[in-house]
Each structure stands twice: as structure tokens, then as C-alpha cells.
Structure 1
Amino acid sequence: MPDPRFFEDLGPVTLEELAALTGAELATREAADRPVRAVAILSQATAETVTFLTDRKHAAGLLGSRAAACFVQPNQADTVPAGCAVLLTPSPQGAYAIAAQRLHRPRLMETGPAVSPDARLEEGVRLAPGVVIGPGAQVGRGTTIGANTVIGPGVTIGRDCAISANVTIGFALIGDRVKILAGAAIGEAGFGATVGPAGLIDIPQLGRVILQDAVTIGANSCVDRGAFGDTVIGENTKIDNLVQIAHNVRVGRNCVMAAHTGISGSVTIGDGVQFGGKAGVADHVAIADGARIGAGGGVMRDMPAGETWAGYPARPIRQWMRETAWLAKRASSKKGTEE
């Protein structure tokens, strides 16, 4: 279930209503009155949730789940286990997104005082002019918050943090001694879209951001909240200005990322990993402990522990250097021949 500090529960809703809303077809009318309270991915499905399946390779996950219902394509209905209601649709993920919009709503800032009466501020918190703090938010002792920064509903910020001006923080749990520099955006919706009945629709992002103790986030950097689970930045990791961290990314402890680094969705990064400026990582890649990516490197596949890679696509740095030298030599030789 999405964290109630950040999302309102709009359920329950019957499967008959969900079918009508999404354009799906219930395989059996006996399940029409079955209620569901939430959406969930296969690994998190419970008896009160509706999930979806788009690829048969994940069918084992469906068999092991306890979902009340599942959106599937008609040719995959046989993958749904007994006891799980079948919702037939050509676009299972699109139907799931519509169901998520019906069942969950992000908590928004309310009109009223700039600092909500429901917010809890410990002793020694210092607020610059223009700070807005939403209902249910908590700020720890000794934390300073810069001018025009917005702290969303339910956000928790630890002690002795330094939040600069014009920062926006939502859907986030933040540890102690965290530094967030000017203009950073923490907890905005990650980039996710799918095909719906009338074209592309956004997939609701129902996760959180967790920044552990002593993390630094540079100016104008973005850390997106998770789509299903959480985006996590590990202890003492230092992130430069203008860095993008996408949804569901998990970064280990003591990592460093130079400016313009871009991490795609669902990447897993171990402890002590280093990224040069403008490095990038493709989605669902795993980077092991102590790896190093050179400036401008583009990591397209899993990376072993302790290795240094460079180039695009990134590969071991000695290999990249040999290939670059060979190419330069060939180009120079050809130029001499032409002259």
C-alpha cells in the first residue's frame, strides 16, 4: 500500500467498477462485486490489491502472488492462478495506471498558513522568509531551511540538516545532517507513461524518496520518487549539481556523482561507486561496489565490482583506450594516404 502520509486512500472499489472504468472485461461475472483497495506490482500484491501482467516471463511472480485480481492480455489469461479474478484488456499496464488514479491520490498542499498547524518543528529549526511547510511534516532540531523552499505534506526531515533556498521536497523521508542545495527537487514524479484507451497516459508514481544520513544533493539536481517502491540514496553519498536520479534507483553508501550524471530507472548501485561528469546509466542495470565510471561514460550493462569503465557504450578503460588509440591511428593514416 502507498504510504498514507503521502497518498490518500480512495478505495475500496469493486472489480465491476474498475472494469467499466478501464475498459477491461471481467472473465467471470462471479467476481464483479469483489472489492479492492489498492494497486500493487506482482511482488507486493495482497488479497486487497489489483495487479497487472504484461509479459509471460513474469508469470511465475503472478502464480506466487495473492492478488485479488490481475489485468492481463486475453492470450495470457491462462497464466492467472485460481482465486485471482481475470480482467482482460489489450493494455494491462494502461488499465493498471487508470486503476491507480482511481484508488490513490497524492496529498497536496492545503490553503492556509505557510507553516501548517499540523507540522511538527523541533527546537532550533530556522526558517527563512517564504518557507512553506505542509500538514503532517516534521523537521528535526537544528535544521535550517532557506527562502521560498516548499516542504510537502508528510515529509520528514532529520536533525542538523541544511536545506537551501528554492528547494522542493515531497514524498520523502530524510535523515540527519543532510544537505540539499538551491533549486533541488526531491520526490517529484518519475518519468513513466504507457498506452491507455485514448493515447499515452502517465503512470502514477506511488513510492517515496529516502535520503539517508549525511547525504548531499547538489543545486538543481532531481531525485524522483519511486514508481512502486522507494528511491533510496545511501549514507554519506555526495551528489553534485544538475544530476538526475530516476524512480526506483537504489544508491549505496559513500558514492560520488559529478555534475550532469544521469541514472535511469530501477538502477542498483553498490557502495563507494564513483561517477565522472556527464556519466549515464541505462535502466535496470546493476553496478557493483567500488566501480568507477569515467566522464561521459555510458553504462549499458551490469558492471563488476572495482572496475573502471569509460566510453560509450562503457567498457573496461584499458580496452576503451586501446580502441580509441587504434581508431585515431587509423584515421591519421587514412588522412595521410588521401593527401
Structure 2
Amino acid sequence: MGYSIKEINTLLKGELIGNTTVQIEGPEEIKKAQNNHITFIGSKKYEKFWGDSKASAAFVSENSTIDPGENRAFIKVKNVDLAMAELLELFNPSQPIFDTEIHPSAVIHETAKIGKGCKIGANCYIGKDVELGSEVILYPNVCVFDETVIGNNTVIWSGTVVRERCVIGSHCIFHINVSIGADGFGYRPSADGRGLVKIPQIGNVIIGNYVEIGANSCVDRAKFSSTIIGDGCKIDNLVQIAHNCVMGRSCIMAGHSGLAGSVTLGDGVIIGGSASIKDHVTIHSGATVGAGSGVMNDVEAGKTVLGYPAQDARDMLKEWVAVRRFLKNQ
């Protein structure tokens, strides 16, 4: 698969600077790119690498002032990252192929309703009264338990388990080994003080549309009512979302982060990698939690917090500077 630089520019509607006769066969980062690659220069600090790069072309921002050079080209765009995302879609390899729409080894309960155009891989299990919308894809070894509903065009990769009574929206993507609807973590000391009593978790999980959940992440069912993930949320690998959490629309959670029970996130909240959120905390819309932080109290809308325990990011940075100076002077 290859494209001329003019074909790529036509598709992405940028401003072509210079020209190259080389067929572009894929994107690559600037230091690894070869002659048949297009790369991207997202900010001024990366312009210094262009001279040594073997790439024939690059996406650059509109304020870039460097020259592409002989038989090389730039495509100027408003947002380099979004342009690269469009290009990656262009070169995206096809997904694994199903020889049959429903593999003969799949076990499907007679009461299940399977929508038009669904694809169900080998060794999948679909339980009693499950409903799949149209064009749902279940890759091999997916389990969907009783009374679960899954919306149109949702893709679920191998090893994922969706427990009973969950409600999944349309156009979702669940990557390998995701767990949806397992029991929440609830125990109390027994009356005699000699053991622990498990608290039944009788709720479910509700997931909105266009939600993506990374490999080996877990969303636990509610103790009662529902654990809720709003439309458009993006969840990285190895993320824990505990029972009765409620996430608003378009939240982001990076890898190894976790929400304890009954946490509430507003819309557009960003949780950095390895951050931990205490139970019953509310993080209001537009707030950001820095990587590795431990949030013990509610966070105001639009605020950025950092540290362990987390506090206003500017105050935390000042504190770190003061501690560094103190230690340096000892």
C-alpha cells in the first residue's frame, strides 16, 4: 500500500510545502523513519531532528518555519496529532477475518437474540436472554452471561467476560481479557470477629456508547443499582473501576489507575497513570489528576491536583522545589 504525497495532502486537506516523488508506504517516528515513510513534527523542539531523518515527508504545524529540503515535503496542518490519527486510519491493517459469521463451536442459548450481521468466534459463550445488536463482533473465547444487552457495532476481543445483566452501548471496544460486572470488593468483619462476611453485590454495570476499555481492565458490578461509565470514556490497560462508581462523559483513565468504591467523576475528567482515588470522592468536570497521585478529598471543577496526598498542582510543585533546595543545602 502506497500513496503519493499529493494524494495524502488531498485526503488530509493540508498545505503542501515542497514535493517528493517517493511513494509513502506508512508513517513512522522521526528517528526511525526510512525513505518511504512520512513522519510528524508536533512542536519546535523536534525540528532539530529533521535534518538527520531519512523520512521523505512530515506533518508540521502551521507555525513551522523550517524548509523540507530537496525531494522532501511538508504538509502543514492545524493539529499534527489529529492529522497523524487520520493517516494511521488510512494505513490501518484489516482486522482478523471470520470464515463463518458464527463459529460452530460457539455455545449460544436458545433464548439469546443475535442481531443482523453479528460475528461470533470460536468457543464463545452467550447465555440466557442475552441481546446482541447488529454488527456486534465477539472474537474467540468471549463469554457474555445471562440477560446482558450489547448495542450495535460493539467489538469485544478474546478473553473478555461480561457478567449477567450488564448493559453495553453501541460502538464500544473492549480489548483482550477485560472483566465487566465481576463482584465488587465488599467484606465486613463477622459478628464473632473471627472472619470476614462477604457482602452480596446484586447490581450491574451500565456502559454508554463509544467507550473503549484496554486490556486486563476491570469494571465491577454495583452493590446495588449500577456502576456507570458514560459515553465516550477511554480507559487504558490495567485499570480498576470499583463498585458503584459513576463516570461522566469523555473521561480518560491512564494505565494502572484506580477508582475505589462509589467514586464519582464529572465530564471530561483526566486520571493520570497509577493515580488512586479514595472511595466516595467526587472529582468534578474538567479536573485533572496527575500521574501517581493519591486523591483523598473532592476535587473542584477544572482543577489540576498532584502528589500523595493530592493537592493543587502549583502548590505541590512549589513544595517539591522547597524540599529539593532544603536537601541541597544540608
TM-score higher than 0.5: yes
Deviation for aligned residue 1:159:
0.4
2:226 aligned with 1:230, yes or no? yes
Paired AA for residue 147 in structure 1: P
Alpha-carbon deviations, 1:218-269, whole Å to 9, x = none?
1000000000121000000000000000000000001111101110000110
Cα distance in structure 1, aligned partners of 2:143 and 2:246: 25
Matched, 1:174 2:181: no
CA distance, structure 2, for counterparts of residue 333 and residue 131 of structure 1:
64
> Is the CA contact (8 Å cut-off) linking 2:180 and 2:220 kept in structure 1?
yes
- Greater relative contact order, per chain length (Cα 8 Å cut-off, separation 6+): 1
Is the aligned partner of 1:261 residue 2:260? no
Aligned pairs (5 A) from 1:229-248: 229-248=225-244
Shift of 1:196: 2.7
Give the deviation of 1:195 after TM superposition. 2.3
The equivalences for 1:36-75 within 5 A come to none
2:182 corresponds, among 173, 185, 188, to: 188
Aligned to 2:305: 309
1:122-173 CA-partner distances (Å, limit 9, x unpaired)? 1111011110000111111001001101000111100000100000001310
Q: Which residue of 2 aligns with 1:322?
A: 318
Q: Decide which of 108, 113, 121 is 1:120's aligned counterpart.
A: 113
Q: Does the alignment pair 1:207 with 2:200?
A: no
Task: Report the 3-state secondary structure (helix = DSSP H, G, I; strand = E; otherwise coil) of the residue aligned with 1:331.
Answer: helix
Please list every run of 5 or more consecutive structure 1 residues that lacks an aligned counterpart in the other structure: 1-111, 335-339
| Aligned twin of 1:140 | 133
**Residue in structure 2 matching 1:155, options 121, 140, 148:** 148
Counterpart residue number, 1:95: none
Equivalent position of 2:52 in the other structure: none
Equivalent residue letter for 1:245: I
Assess if the C-alpha contact under 8 Å between 2:218 and 2:239 holds in 1.
yes
In the alignment, the residues of structure 2 paired with residue 132 and residue 113 of structure 1 have an alpha-carbon distance, to the nearest angstrom, of: 6
TM-score, reference length from structure 2: 0.66
* 1:197 CA drift (Å): 4.1
Normalized per residue, the structure richer in helix is 1
- Structure 1 CA distance for aligned equivalents of residues 225 and 187 of structure 2: 17
Indicate the percent of aligned positions where both proteins have the same amino acid: 40
Aligned to 1:328, the other structure's residue is in SS state helix
The whole-number CA distance in structure 2 between the counterparts of 1:197 and 1:154 is 35
In the alignment of these two chains, the number of paired residues is 223
Contact between 2:106 and 2:121, CA under 8 Å: does it hold in 1? no
Work out the CA distance in 1 between the residues paired with 2:126 and 2:328.
61
Q: How much has 1:333 moved relative to structure 2?
A: 1.0
Kindly state the Cα deviation for residue 113 of structure 1 after the two structures are TM-superposed. 7.5
Q: Secondary structure at the match of 1:187?
A: strand
Deviates most, 189-198 or 207-216:
189-198
Contact 2:120–2:138 (8 Å) recurs in 1: yes
Computing the radius of gyration from Cα coordinates, the structure with the larger value is 2
SS in 2 for 1:235: coil
Matched AA of 2:116: E
Residue of structure 2 in register with 1:129 after alignment: 122
Alignment partner for residue 164 of structure 1, among 157, 163, 188?
157
* TM-score of the aligned structures, taking structure 1 as reference length: 0.65
Which residue is 1:270 aligned to?
266
Give the Cα–Cα distance (whole angstroms) in 1 for the partners of residues 299 and 308 of structure 2. 14
> What is the one-letter code of the residue matched to 1:274?
I
Query: In structure 1, what is the Cα distance between the partners aligned to 2:316 and 2:202?
Result: 40
Question: Which SS does the other structure have where 1:327 is aligned?
Answer: helix
Counterpart of 1:99 in structure 2 is none
In the TM superposition, what whole-angstrom CA distance separates every residue of 1:266-302 from its partner, at most 9, and x where no partner exists? 0110000001111110000011000001110111000
Distance 1:113 1:323 in 2: 58
Instruction: Write the letter of the residue equivalent to 1:301.
Output: N
